[in-house]
Every structure is written in C-alpha cells, then in structure tokens.
Chains A and B, each alone.
Chain A
Amino acid sequence: MLNFTIRRLFVAIPTIFFLVIACFFLMHLAPGGPFTSERPLPPAVLANIEARYGLDQPLWKQLWDYLTNIVLHFDFGPSFVFKDRDVNDIIAQGFPISLTYGSLSFLAASIVGISLGIAAAIRHNTWIDYFAVSLGILAQALPNFIMGPILILTFTLWLGWLPGGGWYGGQWQYLIMPVIALSTSFMGSIARITRSSMLEVMNANFIRTARAKGLPERTVIWRHAMKPTLLPVISYLGPVFVYVLTGSVFVDLYFSTGGLGQSFVNSALSRDYAVLLGVTILYGSLTVAVNLLTDLSYAWFDPKIRY
C-alpha cells in the first residue's frame, strides 16, 4: 500500500510538471495579449511594459523563472491586468469561496444522491424506485447553468425568500441557492449510478450466500452490499469533486459569489495569462491529487484490488 502510494506520487509529480510546461507554451502560442488594445501602444511603451513583466526574455528563460518562482517561493507572478495584485492574491481571494460552496455542494450531492439510489435499489420496482429514477433523470437534465436562473426566478423574484446574489462571508442565505444549483445534476447522476450498482450487487452470489446464512436483510445490505455498491460511485465522485470547483463559473456569474470561476472567466476574456495559468495549474494539481486519493480509496473499498 505504501509502496503503491510512493509509486503513484512518482507519476503524479511529473504529470503536474508536464501540465505546467504545456499550459505555459499554449498561453504563449495564443495570439493577442493583455497589452494589445484597439489603439496600439507606442513601441517604446510596449517594450517597457514587456520588460517589466519579463516578456522580452527568451521563452525558455521565462519558463525557467516561472518554474523556479513557483517551486522556491510559491509565487505565480503578477497579474497582467490588475497592476496592484498578483496571482497569489487573486487565488487566495477566490479559492476559499469556491471551496466553501463547492465542497458543500459535493457533500449535498453525494449524501442525497447515494441515499436516493440505495432507497430505489432496495425497493426495486416499487413507487419509491420509480420516483427516485424520475427525480434522478430530471435532476440530471438541470445543470447549474439551468438551475441558476430557475432558482433566482423562484426564490428571489417570485417568493422573495432569498437574496439573489452576493457572498457576505458565506452566510447561509447566500449559500443555499449556489449549493442547490451546483449539486442538482450531480445528485441525479450519483443516484442513478448508485441504484444500478446496488441492483447488480444484490444479485451477486455472495449476497445470496449471506441471505442463505439467515442474516437479516439490514445486515446483508449494510455489511455486505454497501462497500461493493459504492465502488463505481467513488470512481465517479473523484472527477465530480474537481468539476464542482471548476464548473462553478456559472454559479459565480449568476449569484455574484466572487469565487475562482469569475476570475477564470475574466482573465480568459481579458487575456490575463498569468491568472489563467495560475488557476489552471491549481485545478490541474487538484485533479491529479484527487485522482490519487480515488485510487487509494479503492483499496479500502475493494478487497480484490492488490497493489
């Protein structure tokens, strides 16, 4: 197990390293920069600005400086657009917000989704099952991009129960709608995956054996069926966790929560490559880390897997 962890880490670190280099070159490949405007700057001024950000150096030197700054000082450099802020500031401001409502959405989606899926599988072909399946499919068709306007319309404009946007340090009234909007579609997918996985497990031989031993149904479900049921769910949950954080762009735009999604879109539109690169690297590393955790949790859930 420890051996496997170390081996995976040896793969994970070069992956992140590769990702940084690939993104760095892609950014420099894209035409147009933060300093190209409708009225071109005088060459002397442009040269000055480029010298200020080190853009006049050869590309390999820029890359080297960028990498050493990250490794030695954990510094992602200055923003090209905001003169007084660097990338670290922007991430430090937006990331905690995204992380807060992102992890709450993740929790909500997993808890509700898994419970719904299990309830449906245990009461297979009853009205509970049909209700859960319909709810799951309906929820899946409502990604955050669609849920945002629907929620604002219902709870802010019609009922007037909740404020339409803002963050204010994450008070609960401001959290409810972003969390619901972000978690709905994943809740649906999780419910459906759990249901079909559980149905398959309940037909397995070892469940028949457990039942034949005369174990009560509750023990069969919780002690024997639970772990193998959750195995495919977990492999789905890993990417969802990362997506919930990256896919929060619409939530940020609709509810003005000020998370990282907003910085990402703004920097993409204003060609602020420094911020774009920083956010990409953050998400990329997060993906690699979460994938590692997913693989490790497999070992606990599936005794058949040996490392």
Chain B
Amino acid sequence: MFQRYKKVEALASDMTHHSAVKGRSLMRDARERFLRNKAALVCLGVLFLVVLFVLLGPFFAVWDNETIDWGNMGATGVPSLQTGHYFGTDDLGRDLYSRTIQATGTSLMVGLIGAGMALIIGIAWGVIAGFYGGWLDSVMMRIVDILLAIPLVLVLILILVIAGRSFTTLFIALGAVSWLTMARIVRAQTMALKGREFIEAARASGVSETMIIIRHILPNLMGVVIVYASLLVPDMILAESFISFLGLGISEPSTSLGSLISEGAGTMAYGTLWQLAFPLAFYVTIIITMFFIGDGLRDALDPKDR
C-alpha cells in the first residue's frame, strides 16, 4: 500500500528544494533595482570620472595652483594648450586648471564629511529620542526645534569665529548645523518602526533594548537615512560655498568651488568668462549627479515611494 512512487518522490524533493530557496536579502534587492536605473548609473559613472579627474588631473598640470604667471593674467589668461593653462588663469594669474582640481577635491570632501557627520549625530539623536520616547523625547526634540529656528549661517559664523578658522572647525561646524533634519526624520521613522510586530516579537523573545536598536531598528532605518544623506551632500557643498563667500571658509591658498565661483562672478564683467565657467561646470555636474544618485537610491531602497 505504501508503495514508493518515483514520481511522488521527485515531486517531494522538488518541493523541499523550492522551499529551501535562499531568501533574497533587502540589500541585494535594492542593488538590483539600483543597477536597473540607467540615469543613476550614468551619473555614478560621471561622478567617478570627476573623482578620477581630481586624482589624476595634477599629473597633467603644467602649472601648480600657487605660481603666478605674470605673462598671462586677466584678459590674456584665456584657456589654451600652448601656455599650459588648460582652463585659463584666474584674476591673479594663477592656473585655473590646478585650482579647479584642488577646489573640486575640497568641495567633494566637504560634502562627504559634512553629510557623514550629520548622519552619525542625527541617527544617534533621532533613534534615542524616538525609541525611548516620553520626557526625554520632548526635551531632545524641543532642542532640535530651537536650533532649527536659528538661521544656520549664524551658527556657522559663531562656531568659526569662536573656534578659529581651520579645516577641522569647518567640518565640525557643518556637522553641527546639518544633523537637525536628519534627527527629525530618524525619530519619526523609529517611532513608526517601534510599534511594528517584529519589534514586539523581538521584545517578547527577550532581546535587550540595545540589541533591538542595533539589530532591528538601525537596518530598517538605513534606506531613508542613506537617501537623505545623499541629498545632504550638495547642501553641504553649498553651505561651504556660502561661508567661503563671507570669507570665513577655507582660506587661501586652499580653495573650494564656492570661492572660485564667487571670484569668477566678481570678474565676469571684464569678459574673463572662463573664470566662472569651469568651476561652475564642475559644481553643477557634481550636484546634478548627486541628485540622480540620491533619487536612484531612494527608488532602490524605498520602492513603495513610487
């Protein structure tokens, strides 16, 4: 009666085989979605080229970023291959090619480090406020509200004036002003997650609160957080430009795209357009590619948003 049928056996092994299919992880899903997004991939490539240019560009430079070329300044400093000033010279006769490379590097670094700082402070603040709730949450969020009501520029200026101008201070100042919105987003997300069943399940099975935060809350936050951080990078570059413009940012001979643009804008009435055009082109390229990459990341990590 209980005869073994080959067919049934095959079917059974087939079924167990299927049920043993490895689950697809969230991240692998996201990566596949991102790789399907043509615009984001192209932008990632362009951004990679910009980074490559910053790294390899100096080897092709004829002039360094500080030497003044007395023979080619102002209107005669046009971009040309003969003089070795591929992007022309700036108002003082310095090579714009070298300076653009330096500025692009600085701006990219400012964007990444500023966004990174915002990421760390904002996540810590938001998760603690959102997870523990109660009076701690009210106090922490009230502080964020008050800080949000102060114009960022003022805080930036104050920090830079009190602590003195340097790269480190600049990064700390940028981080100090940029984590607020991140903290709010993270808090809202944490509060939404906290009520979900899988957190309740983890709690019921005796997982400690720290472990719940690390293993269950943080990974689920990542999607939103990465997307917002990628949108923060251009913001940071802009904020740095702003304080450089006020003369409180990166000081000479270092430079950033923001300072180069404002220098170029100051002299455009004399017909030296290349002084504005090259830094501007790099700036706009970086910002647009960052936007597309951020968008691609959002589509990939938060698919229900579409």
* Residues of chain A having any CB pair with chain B under 8 Å: 15-16, 18-19, 22-23, 26-27, 29-32, 137-138, 140-143, 145-146, 148-150, 152-153, 157, 196, 199-200, 246, 249-250, 253-254, 264-265, 268-269, 276, 280, 283-285, 287-288, 291
Contact = CB atoms under 8 A, between A and B. Distances in A.
A114 B162 CA distance: 42
A280 B261 contact: no
Interface of B: 142, 145-146, 148-151, 153-154, 157-158, 161-162, 234, 238, 241-242, 245-247, 258, 261, 264-265, 268-269, 273, 276, 280, 283-284, 287-288, 291-292, 295, 305-306
Contacts of B295: 137
Contacts of A148: 265
A22 B306 contact: no
13 contacts: A15-B142, A19-B149, A23-B154, A29-B158, A137-B288, A137-B292, A138-B288, A145-B258, A150-B280, A153-B276, A157-B269, A249-B153, A264-B153
Contact of A280 (B150, B258, B287): B150
Contact of A29 (B162, B268, B291): B162
Given A29-B162, A196-B305, A149 B276 contact: yes
A142 B158 contact: no
A265 B246 contact: yes
Nearest to B234: A141
> Interface SS of chain B: helix, strand, loop or mixed?
helix
A153 B153 CA distance: 27
A41 B261 CA distance: 38
B287 A246 contact: no
A287 B148 contact: yes
A101 to B, nearest CB: 18
Nearest to B265: A149
Contacts of A264: 151, 153
A140 B269 CA distance: 26
Contacts, number: 98
Given A30-B162, A137-B288, A145 B241 contact: yes
A271 to B, nearest CB: 8
Contacts of A157: 268-269
Given A145-B242, A200-B306, A30 B158 contact: yes
A142 B280 CA distance: 10
B284 A200 contact: no
A246 B268 contact: no
Contacts of B149: 15-16, 19, 283-285, 287-288
B222 to A, nearest CB: 20
Contacts of A250: 242, 245
Contacts of B146: 15, 18-19, 22
A260 to B, nearest CB: 11
Closest 5 CB pairs of A and B: A149-B265, A141-B287, A287-B149, A284-B149, A141-B288
A137 B142 contact: no
A146 B158 contact: no
B86 to A, nearest CB: 22
Given A19-B150, A283-B151, A268 B157 contact: yes
- Of B258, B269, B287, most A-chain CB atoms within 10 Å: B287
Contacts of A199: 306
Nearest to A265: B246
A150 B284 CA distance: 12
